[in-house]
Amino acid sequence: MNRRPTLPTLRAWLLLMLAAVITPACANFDDFSVGTDAQMPDGGRDAGHDGSVLPDAGGDAGDDAGGQDQGEQDQGSDQDQGSDQGDQGAPECQSNAQCGGLEFCSQLGTCEPRQPNAEDCSGSDQCLSGYCDPDGICCTQGEDCCDTDSECAGQYRCDTGARECFATCTSANELNACKPEGHCSLAGNCVADLAPGAANACTRNTMCVGNVGCADGYCCNVSTCGGCQACNLSGSLGTCANLGAGTDPHNACNPSGCTNDGTCNGSGACRAVAAGTDPNNACNPSGCSNDGTCNGSGGCRTVPAGTDPNNFCSGSSASCNTGLCNGGGSCAPVTNGTACGTGNCGSSRCVGGSCRLSCDYLDLPLCQYCAGDGVWDCGGCGGG
């Protein structure tokens, strides 16, 4: 007698058919099973909804194994993640001893490289030199670290590249090494500038206050003395004073004409050529105006009175000319009233260098002047 399958049995077979269709990765039937793996028989049979045991297609075993592996992997991943989180949370170091010799332990708990000189720092352990100065700069202990000139002692400036104060100097770098009010000494130290007018010896302007006024080896009271003055004269060291006459240590006087003999005059200027000399060949003899020498005042000298070296004057009473120069650049006339020829009344006189007819009406004033009493030998100068 054939039995019709019960409803629970049909359900069980339906589930089995579905299990054959679903991929192994999704073949876990725990959601469809009434029981659990712990309740299943060792034969690998699932319990149906009606309590019957179904043949196990092998899917659960694989699924369970896969689930176990997945669980182990998840558990391992969780452990690794926890380890990583632990590494991130724990500091790398807590003291410098835990870092290399060229590193220090930072406040963040990390080993950082020690800094070379001129770098910023907050502690000496951060510097390769082992010293962080009070301004927060790595430098060699015993040297002054700086960022500005005001941080340097004395007349030294700050080497902003090295962030250290200069400790020595040369005349070539003193503008960089020494402050504006200082200079580099012969010993190679930056020292204060020298005051002018106080017999302070110098070799260059930068040694003197204001960087000007090193004249004749002394810091002078002015930036430059005149050509015929000096700042190194005994009794006036550091002050401009006039050079002695006949000297010219500065080569200020260039010989020229009659105005300059190549030396100073003792009053702060160049001296004129001495009278009666002409070292520069400036004077060409001429007439009574130039005797070929200088006059001592910067010009050529006129021919002296009573001489005629140039044979300029032809002397005779007839021409009313003595034949000599008058000292004013002209020929000297004969004395007024000297007879110079025969006139219409038998008498002519030299007047002002010219021969005049004494009784000529036009010469009336001269007649009076010449005669003194206004009367001539011809009977007077009465205008006729």
Is there a domain that residue 108 lies in?
Answer: yes
pTM: 0.51
Is there a domain that residue 357 lies in?
Answer: yes
Is there a domain that residue 358 lies in?
Answer: yes
From edge to edge, which strands make up the β-sheet containing 339-341? 339-341, 348-351, 354-357
Domain boundary among 107, 134, 161: 134
Asked whether the beta carbons of 57 and 63 are under 8 A apart, the reply is: no
Tell how strand 241-242 and strand 321-325 pair up: unpaired
Give pLDDT, residue 64: 46
Is there a domain that residue 125 lies in?
Answer: yes
Is there a domain that residue 184 lies in?
Answer: no
Quote the number of domains for the chain. Answer: 2
Half-sphere exposure of 114 (CA within 13 A, CB side): 21
Beta-bridge mates of residue 214 = 219
Is there a domain that residue 345 lies in?
Answer: yes
Domain boundary among 134, 166, 195: 134
Is there a domain that residue 122 lies in?
Answer: yes
Domain boundary among 134, 157, 186: 134
Give pLDDT, residue 65: 42
pLDDT tens, N- to C-terminus, the chain (384 residues): 444 555 555 566 566 666 555 544 444 444 434 344 434 444 444 444 444 444 444 444 444 444 444 544 444 444 444 444 444 567 889 999 999 889 999 999 999 999 999 999 999 999 999 999 888 999 888 888 899 999 999 999 999 988 999 999 998 999 999 999 999 999 999 999 999 988 899 999 999 998 888 999 999 998 888 999 999 999 999 999 999 999 999 999 999 999 999 999 999 999 999 999 999 999 999 999 999 999 999 999 999 999 999 989 887 777 788 889 999 999 998 887 777 765 444 467 777 777 766 555 444 444 444 444 444 434 444 443
Give pLDDT, residue 378: 41
Q: Whole domain around residue 123: which residue ranges?
A: 91-134
The tokens describing 224, both together, are 């430059």
